[in-house]
Amino acid sequence: MRPLYSEQQEMLAATVREFAANELAPKAAEVDENEQFPWEQMKGLAGLGLTGLTIDEEYGGSGGEYRDMMAVQEEVAAACGTTSTVLITHVSLGSQTINQFGSPEQKQRWLPSLASGEKIAAFALTEPQTGSDALGLSTTLTEDGDDYILNGTKLFITNGGVADIFSIFVNQDRAAGYRGISAIVVEKGTSGFTVNPQHGKMGMRGCETAELVFENCRVPKANLLGEPGGGYRIALKILDSSRIMIAAQCVGLAKGALDAAVSYAQQRKAFGSVIGKKQAVQFMLADMATELDAARLLTFRAASLYDAGMPHGKEAAMAKVYASEAAGRIASKALQIHGGVGYFRPSVVERIYRDQRVTEIYEGTSEIQRLVISRDLLGDLPD
């Protein structure tokens, strides 16, 4: 029991924990080893209403708050990192972009099938030549009658290989700076749109990461999200909130590693007693538990601010940078406590150790989070 969450959130977490123990954890090694997209796992989550959590009920979602999703992500990520990344990308990035910035018609068109899990969403900002610097996008969008024509390439797109509905960020007018960036929805199968799977990731291996190529891809103007030139604001707003879910994912990964380490320390014997009796191991576990709680508290604060409609950008960045790096330290210590066994597949801690690493990179690297935090502290400095 964690007094942080409401009774309702604890009940939700308990339901997801049971689902994760039965349906996610037993398949996590296979998902990782075979780079297997977790279709069955996503169907199960959809059955629990979780592919529509935080999405407006009016458009087929389950409603709910980011604190509810945090409780869910913690349990999902503790059991299977890949499934957690797929769910975050589907709900907090892809679907939320439409939920928050789509017109009523666009929401009616796309959200019900996303919320039910029948269709999968993706969010495409990164390009081969630009990741952190979102102003440097070179994918273009030009007008042609009632349509737009897209040209360019997106890279490292999670869910890309299987998604049906993509929110794509493009540059409509380079000279206009951030006001030149727009967001548009492209559906799978649109002529001129090719998806190339990217294999060989270190962790989160079942996420169907892909390169997206647009060659004179014709998309109706009705697919534009928000105003022309409003895309930069959309991307920043969505990343500000989705980062809270990455932080929650890190809390889950850290919890998975700590649970495995505690259980191993209670059983493994060395020099005549279980290793949990050695003070060096006890202190590692104590530090891991303390860092895990600190990460959870920072994440909960950011989610609470978001749910209250209050500014949360700095707090989301703090939660993401701290939780991701703490999860790295916790996973490393958990592996250390396992000794040689922890270094071999299919050890749970070996997988978490690899899965954690990308959390310091995607949705803004640790350096970018520190930029967000320090800019908030310092304001605009004179040259």
Residues that bind ligand FAD (CB under 6 A): 89, 123-126, 131-132, 156-158, 201, 204, 209, 358, 361-365, 367-368, 371
Nearer to ligand FAD, 124 or 162 (CB): 124
The CA–CA distances, whole Å, from 174 to 50, 137, 179, 214 equal: 39, 9, 9, 18
Sequence-distant (6+) residues with CB within 8 A of 374 are: none
CA distances, 18 to each of 22, 40, 136 (Å): 6, 16, 44
Nearer to ligand FAD, 136 or 311 (CB): 136
What is the distance between the terminal CA atoms of the chain, rounded to a whole angstrom?
Answer: 51
Nearer of residues 132 and 194 to ligand FAD, judged by Cβ: 132
Closest distance between ligand FAD and the C-beta of residue 12, in Å?
26
Residue 86 or 326 having the CB closest to ligand FAD: 86
Look up 360 and say whether it is catalytic. Answer: no
| Residue 369: CB minimum distance to ligand FAD, A | 9
In the bound state with ligand FAD, the residue whose beta carbon lies nearer, of 100 and 365, is 365
Look up residue 140 and give its two tokens. 């273009």
DSSP letters, 285-343, are: HHHHHHHHHHHHHHHHHHHHHHHTT---HHHHHHHHHHHHHHHHHHHHHHHHHHGGGGG
Question: What are residue 195's DSSP bridge partners?
Answer: 212
The DSSP letter of residue 382 is: P
Nearer to ligand FAD by Cβ, of 206 and 342: the residue is: 206
Query: CB of 310: closest distance to ligand FAD in angstroms?
Result: 26
Q: Minimum Å distance from CB 366 to ligand FAD?
A: 7
Between 9 and 99, whose beta carbon lies closer to ligand FAD? Answer: 99
Peptide bond preceding 197 in cis form (omega within 30 of 0) = no
Which residues have a Cβ under 8 Å from the Cβ of 164 and sit 6 or more positions away?
113, 119, 120, 121, 187, 188
Give the C-alpha separation, 159 to 260, whole Å: 28
User: Considering the complex, what minimum distance in angstroms separates the CB of residue 59 from ligand FAD?
Assistant: 22
Shortest distance, position 371 Cβ to ligand FAD, whole Å: 6
CB nearer to ligand FAD: pick between 129 and 282: 129
Min separation Cβ 375 and ligand FAD, Å: 11
What burial letters (b/e) apply to 102-136, b meaning 16+ CB within 10 Å? beeebbebbbbebbbbebbbbbbbbbeeebeebee
Of 169, 179, 181, 177, residue with least CA distance to 214: 169
DSSP string computed for 20-87? IIIIIHHHHHHHHHTT---HHHHHHHHHTTGGGBTS-GGGT--B--HHHHHHHHHHHHHH-HHHHHHH
Number of Cβ atoms within 10 Å of the Cβ of 228: 19
Which residue, judged by CB position, is nearest to ligand FAD in the bound state?
A: 131
Catalytic residue among 23, 74, 75, 363: 363
Give CA–CA dist 91/165, Å, rounded.
12
Minimum Å gap between C-beta 93 and ligand FAD is 7
The catalytic residues are 363
